[in-house]
Amino acid sequence: MDINLPGKTAIVCGSTQGIGKAVAIELANSGAAVTLLARNEKSLKQVLSELNASKNQTHQYVCADFANPEELKSKIEEYVKSNPSVHILVNNTGGPPPGPIFDAELNMFAEGFSKHIICNQILVQALVPGMKTEKYGRIINIISTSVKQPIPGLGVSNTIRGAVASWAKTLAGELAPFGITVNNVLPGYTYTQRLQSLIETKASKSGKSIREVEEELLEVVPIGRFAEAREIGYAVTFLASEFSSFITGTSLPVDGGRIPSL
């Protein structure tokens, strides 16, 4: 199975670092024209320069902050005027801050819901009409294994990620008749800046070393290591391809076997 995406256009959110950047690189390597979407223009330009590009690929970026949904709506609508045919949308936004759910400030729930549900909805409403015209659409949400099993210490994130999974499952049923699929990728412990930050926070609070905290996390990962961000990119690229045409409404764990449930 050789995955090739020439002639396909993809928007990848949160694509200046970590999993989002890795996804953008893999999609570009497979032939898709990639539009990066994030809030830091300097970082967007840097990642843009790193994407593989053939003569048939034109990569670009949109600078928008998910903390400002109205700005995102305005910029994506302007983008669609010049780029009406987007075939692949990868929703990917940094998770809410860690902490017990009982201690969470009320505004943290509202901010998380806005960044993950409202902004996803804005992008879908702007891009799905073009997918229907093209008779090809892949909406892929990078969320978390917490939709299968809540992760201790990530109270608000667990709540919001579960909401995204329910939103996606509902959307999948509505868009399936148009040949548009909606799926979620659930990364396990992936070596990114966010995981490093979580490890450092846990080490600081517990008085343990960074290495001790890493070893504790790896005890529940049967494969025995953290994922590389590119490995999440491989899963996304498959779901973005024609080979996944009969897969929709699913949540795919890419976690090294960590989730104990079926």
Same domain, 94 and 173: yes
Count the domains in the chain: 2
Nearest-10 crossing angle of helices 229-240, 18-29 = 50
Distance from C-alpha of 232 to C-alpha of 237, rounded to nearest angstrom: 9
Q: What's the mean pLDDT in 51-61?
A: 89
Does 244 share its domain with 211?
no
Helix (H) or strand (E) holding 18: helix 18-29
Say whether both 105 and 232 belong to one domain.
yes
User: Domain for residue 3, yes or no?
Assistant: no
Residue 45: what pLDDT? 98
Considering the domain boundaries, does residue 174 fall inside one?
Answer: yes
Length of the chain: 262
| Cα separations in angstroms, 249 against 2, 140, 215, 244 | 24, 10, 34, 12
Same domain, 181 and 202: no
How far apart, in whole angstroms, are the C-alpha atoms of residue 160 and residue 190? Answer: 19
Domain co-membership, 177 together with 198: no
Sheet of strand 9-13: strand arrangement: 60-63, 33-38, 9-13, 88-91, 137-142, 180-187, 251-254
Query: Residues 167-180: what's their mean pLDDT?
Result: 98
Q: Is residue 155 a part of any domain in this protein?
A: yes
Question: Given pLDDT bands bounded at 50, 70 and 90, which one contains residue 262?
Answer: confident
Domain contains 194: yes
Q: Are residues 102 and 205 in the same domain?
A: no
Question: Would 261 be classed as within a structural domain?
Answer: no
Neighbouring residues of 246: CB distance < 8 A, sequence distance ≥ 6 = none
Helix/strand/coil (H/E/C) assignment for every residue in 188-205: CCECCHHHHHHHHHHHHH
86-99: per-residue pLDDT in tens?
A: 999 999 998 898 89
pTM of the shown model: 0.95
Q: Look at residue 194 in the predicted model and tell me its pLDDT.
A: 82
Average pLDDT over residues 124-150: 97
| CATH number for the domain that contains residue 86 | 3.40.50.720
**38 in helix, strand or coil?**
strand
| In-domain check, residue 262 | no
Question: What is the residue whose two structure tokens read 């996804």?
Answer: 23
Tell me phi and psi for residue 182, to 5 degrees.
-135, 120
What rounded mean pLDDT belongs to the chain?
A: 95
Report the candidate in 239, 121, 117, 118 with the shortest Cα–Cα distance to residue 174.
121
- Nearest partner of 159 among 146, 172, 170, judged by Cα: 146
Please check whether residue 72 lies inside any domain of the structure.
yes
- Same domain as 243, residue 123: yes
**Angle subtended at Cα 216 by Cα 215 and Cα 222, rounded to the nearest 5 degrees:** 80
User: Are residue 109 and residue 134 in the same domain, yes or no?
Assistant: yes
| Structure letter (DSSP) for residue 95 | P
Residue 2: φ, ψ to 5°: -110, 110
Domain assignment of residue 90, yes or no: yes
Instruction: Print the domain residue range for 204.
Output: 189-226
pLDDT tens sequence across 181-200: 999 999 999 999 888 888 99
% of the chain with per-residue pLDDT over 90:
87
